[in-house]
Amino acid sequence: MLSKEDNERLTRVSNGAPMGRMIKQHWWIPAALSDKLEADGKPLRVRLFGDNYVAFRATNGQVGFFDEACPHRGASLALGRNEDNSLRCIYHGWKFRVDGVTVAVPTQPQNEAQYCKHVPLKHHAVREEAGIVWVWLGEGETPPAFPDLPFVGLPRENFVVFRQKVNANWVQGVETTMDSAHLGVLHQSWLVGFGDIELSSANMAPVYHLAQKPFGFRYAAVRELKDQRAYVRTNSFVMPWYGIVSPNQADLQGGSIFFSVPIDDENIHYWQMTYRTSEKLVLNKTHHYTDADAWPPLPPGPPEDNWGQDREAMKNGHFTGFTQMLGTEDFAVIMSMGPISDRTQEYLGAGDGAVLAVRRCLLGALKQYMAGEVPQLAQHEAIDYSGTAPQSKVVTGESEWRAML
């Protein structure tokens, strides 16, 4: 269990909280799906870490990312006219170029060009990668290096990406991603016929072996099989929120990446990307969304109705009663913990090693940041992110799976 003070340090990211300041300064943040931004189209309201922004795609295809409030009188720039590679506020016509330069203040009767130079428009560096608009929200002129994660540079047909807004603190999402022990319990109704290994009561509780890495840590979840063999899945935690998970089938080159990005202290966008490094991704039943901004489905009911859990389906053999999608089961349990889980009341066991390691990484980095240092896990130029790629295979001996760490 954590102390109340450490739980606050870990979970709070809004209103100048140290964890939020650290992440905004040292990491690129997933902000929006690229496909949601159309050239000269509707601007998109974005909320991150408790603050409000606006993103838009200009005439030339470049993405602009500003504080939402117009620096003049505070009207929302999401209402603005997206035209001529600029966003024009509809209140008084002030016009801001996609690169953050104020180019028109029609209400200024004299010296308009000179006045434009002093308008304090807050704009932020952006990058598009893997179907996502990323933003740097830190202070200063130079953003950190972008981490060379396994999806960087892949062609569009090699991956699928989507997200869902969930009423839960961001750490609850991160911990669930790295909690491999829940796979064979919570998701057992979805895993039948889904990959090489079908988990059973005989191998439901894996033995964890963890290795610290410059990017965070990597762990092997070892499940004993018959004939002295073992099924091993290696997953990676990459600061500050990436869970890189190996595929169920050993012959696939790729994996899935989950990242829980704070909207504020009590809400997240839970992102998922499934990718293949050397071939086109063959979509499965978990990838067929109607809206990439709202997938997988949320639990269908309110807390007062147990989040819409279908008890009749449970009587008929479905383990959880959330029949909508595998991810819906994850959302149900993290939402049931409350908006911010009280970790002072936990009772942890041997299956929680990766969860504890996540907390150590985050709190250790925060301690270095508060001491005025660049956290070791944020020194991107010195980190080899190629080591984050996961593996999944059946092995015949301990030396074989230890080589996978």
Per CATH, is 29-135 categorized as 2.102.10.10? yes
**Topology of 156-402 in CATH?**
Naphthalene 1,2-dioxygenase Alpha Subunit; Chain A, domain 1 (3.90.380)
Q: Is the pLDDT of residue 322 over 50?
A: yes
Q: Is the pLDDT of residue 134 over 90?
A: yes
Q: Is the pLDDT of residue 282 over 80?
A: yes
**pLDDT recorded at residue 403:** 81
**pLDDT recorded at residue 303:** 97
Mean of all residue pLDDT scores within the chain: 93
Select from 29, 2, 387 the least CA-distant residue to 216.
Answer: 387
Q: What is the dihedral of CA 311, 313, 318, 319, to 10 degrees?
A: 0
Please report which confidence band the pLDDT of residue 182 belongs to, taking 50, 70 and 90 as the band edges.
confident
Please report which confidence band the pLDDT of residue 202 belongs to, taking 50, 70 and 90 as the band edges.
very low
Instruction: For 393-403, write each residue's pLDDT tens digit.
Output: 888 888 787 88
Select from 259, 232, 263 the least CA-distant residue to 248.
Answer: 232
**pLDDT recorded at residue 220:** 87
Specify the domain boundaries for CATH 3.90.380 within the chain: 156-402
**Cα→Cα distances 395→347, 349, 400, Å:** 32, 26, 6
Which helix or strand (DSSP H or E) is residue 276 part of?
A: strand 267-276
Instruction: For 290-317, write each residue's pLDDT tens digit.
Output: 999 999 999 999 999 999 999 999 999 9
Mean pLDDT (whole number) for 42-57: 98
**pLDDT recorded at residue 195:** 53
Per the DSSP assignment, residues forming a β-bridge with 259 are 242, 271
Cis peptide preceding 206, ω within 30 of 0? no
Q: pTM score, two decimals?
A: 0.94
Decide if 390 contacts 233 (C-beta within 8 A).
yes
3-state secondary structure labels for all residues of 287-330:
CCCCCCCCCCCCCCCCHHHHHHCCHHHHHCCCCCCCCCCHHHHH
Interior/surface letters 11-31, b for 16+ CB within 10 angstroms, e for the rest: bbbbeebebbbbbbbbbbbbb
Specify the domain boundaries for CATH 2.102.10.10 within the chain: 29-135
Instruction: For 236-271, write each residue's pLDDT tens digit.
Output: 999 999 999 987 676 778 999 999 999 999 999 999
Q: Supply the DSSP symbol for 373.
A: P
User: Hey, is 48 helix, strand or coil?
Assistant: strand
**pLDDT recorded at residue 192:** 73
- In angstroms, rounded to a whole number, what is the distance separating the alpha carbons of residues 204 and 181? 7
Instruction: For 142-163, write each residue's pLDDT tens digit.
Output: 999 999 999 999 999 999 999 9
Q: Is the pLDDT of residue 194 over 80?
A: no
Per the DSSP assignment, residues forming a β-bridge with 273 are 161, 257
